[in-house]
Amino acid sequence: MKFIRKYGYFIGALAIMGVLFYSSAQPYGNQSLVPKIEQLLPNEPFKDFLAMIHFNYAGQEVSIAASGYAKFIEFFIRKGAHFGTYFLMASFWFLGFRGLKTTIKNKAALLAWGLSAGYAMLDEFHQSFTADRTPLIQDVLLDSIGALTGILFIMLILTIIKRRSFK
């Protein structure tokens, strides 16, 4: 129990890295959410509203007109997963480093962000060896922003807790 209390956050971060590594080794066709989206949302809710949204990501137009309703929805789910997994990973790294009784504790945010952003780069590189996958610098940026947001969120929560405990 003491081991989990001391190293649990590190184990969580490493587990996320493992899931990401496995996911990056899967071809897009094995991960496509399009058939499930078409099955779950056959009436294409909010299609008229969503059709007004269009932008470029990695040199490709993202819109219902360009890729269809299901692929458009899938784009946001996949990019949300990028952001969210790196948010969690960096949060775990940060909390783990903060729990150490060393000088590393003072550099927890920088170490957590560096590990997460570095892994984002390695993960995209890993994708370059996977069939039907494209490594994107934009995904590295999205992952890195997710990681930074996670660290800042945890810092905010810890600051609020600390201030309330002084009242």
Give percent above pLDDT 90 in the chain: 85
Bridge-based pairing state of the strands 60-63 and 54-57: antiparallel
Q: Give residue 4's pLDDT band: very low, low, confident or very high (50, 70, 90).
A: confident
* pLDDT (tens digit per residue) in 55-65: 999 999 999 99
Whether the CB-CB separation of 115 and 93 falls below 8 Å is answered with: yes
The pLDDT tens digits of the residues spanning 25-53 come to 999 989 999 999 999 999 999 999 999 99
- pLDDT, position 87: 98
Nearest alpha-carbon partner for 135 in 68, 47, 58 = 58
Distance CA 8, CA 26 (A): 28
Is 24 a residue whose pLDDT tops 90?
yes
pLDDT at 1: 66
* Residue 126 pLDDT greater than 80, yes or no: yes
**Cβ pair 38, 70 in contact under 8 A:** yes
Residue 101 pLDDT: 79
Amino acid (one-letter) located at 94: F
Domain boundaries, the chain: 2-33+78-165
CB within 8 Å of 24: residues ≥ 6 apart: 123, 126, 127, 130, 133
pTM: 0.92
